[in-house]
Amino acid sequence: MSVTSLKQLEKHLNLTQDELSWKEGPLSVPLCITDHYLSLIDPDDPDDPLRRQVVPTCHENMTDDAESPDPLQEVPHSHGERLVHRYRSRVAFLATDICPMYCRHCFRRRFTGNMMGPATERDINDAAAYLGSHPEISEMLLTGGDPLTLSDSQLDHMIGVFRKASPRLIIRICTRYPISQPDRITEDLVAMFKSHSSAPFYLMTQFNHPRELTEKSIRAVAMFVDAGIPAMNQSVLLRGVNDNADTLEELCNALLFNRIKPYYLFQGDMVSGTAYFRVPLRKGMEIEQELRRRLSGLAMPSYTADLPDGGGKVPLCGSYIIKSEDKEKGSWTFRTPDGGIRTITDPQS
């Protein structure tokens, strides 16, 4: 059972004025919180970082002029309703617009939660034909919405069609189920993925806070990893959720310990109605520098922005170069993460 209205939610949490005055608008994602996730929220803390991710507030109803419903320009890069081709070697297939629980910071809110449901047979076949005629595509993000809202047999069929068109297609399973409803991950589901063995799968999770790593969540991800499907995490840097080095250090170390590689830490996209989640870039870069001091290379995610107007991804790590190429000496001068200075000299011949 999930909570789907403010009225139901009031029975579990003391709602604040900001939460009570939320109005569902054309670009809102629905209110839907799973029992599992609700049980993790402290009902007495209005600033609970988990609550902030799933309980809407009136701030969502305010749109900044610089924001857009589609800042990554997925729509102009779409082929049909469900296939997005923004980067040469990879595509995203929007298997469904439905999620078991909706994140208030969702960057694909132009699409997510519109209740269109799973991709049709025609969408699947059109995408497969596109794959067949674009051999440069080596990876597909199976995403949405959350693709694991589909039944095992629907997923089995979809993957079979894609892998028939492109047997060596690497598929990334992009899901928040291990966080929102870990019971969805079953031996049968994982066995179904394993049965499509012509190319690897990767599990892409979105843990944003250490408290989301529950025993059940860890077990759900471990089922994939034990089956040979590596797990990578893509957190979003969110104001009031994880915008400090202590929280992210704890999260990244806990992820790594549980065999989930911290992959990206995304700067919030400039999506309509999400300004109250975005962390100023200067602060984000300060956090990144502090994390670089504290975390091992394996535990360190790449702090990255997906630039507006479909500009693509760029790393946000500040610059460690103090002086670039001194032509006479052939040397480059760098600032170390601890504030020291070092020089690398290029070979003279």
Catalytic residue numbers? 86-87, 90, 99, 103, 106, 108, 269, 306, 313
* Token pair in block for residue 98: 């439905």
Alpha-carbon gap, residue 122 to 130, rounded angstroms: 12
Alpha-carbon gap, residue 168 to 137, rounded angstroms: 10
Query: In 10-64, where does DSSP find H-type helix?
Result: 17-20, 35-38, 49-54
Which CB, 174 or 291, lies closer to ligand SF4? Answer: 174
The neighbouring-strand residues paired with 231 are: 203, 260
Residue with tokens 């759900």: 220
Min separation Cβ 236 and ligand SF4, Å: 8
C-beta atoms surrounding 92 within 10 Å: 24
Binding site for ligand SF4 (CB under 6 A): 29, 99, 102-103, 106, 108, 112, 144-146, 176
Min separation Cβ 332 and ligand SF4, Å: 40
Q: Determine the 3-state secondary structure of 62 from DSSP.
A: coil
Which CB, 249 or 266, lies closer to ligand SF4? Answer: 266
Q: Determine the 3-state secondary structure of 268 from DSSP.
A: coil
Which CB, 102 or 201, lies closer to ligand SF4? Answer: 102
- Provide CB contacts within 8 A for 328, sequence distance 6+: none
Which CB, 249 or 263, lies closer to ligand SF4? Answer: 263
Alpha-carbon gap, residue 280 to 147, rounded angstroms: 32
Which CB, 134 or 239, lies closer to ligand SF4? Answer: 239
- Provide CB contacts within 8 A for 8, sequence distance 6+: none
Min separation Cβ 266 and ligand SF4, Å: 11
Which CB, 134 or 216, lies closer to ligand SF4? Answer: 216
Min separation Cβ 119 and ligand SF4, Å: 14
- Provide CB contacts within 8 A for 298, sequence distance 6+: 256, 261
10 and 94 in contact (C-beta within 8 Å)?
no
Alpha-carbon gap, residue 81 to 94, rounded angstroms: 8
Min separation Cβ 175 and ligand SF4, Å: 7
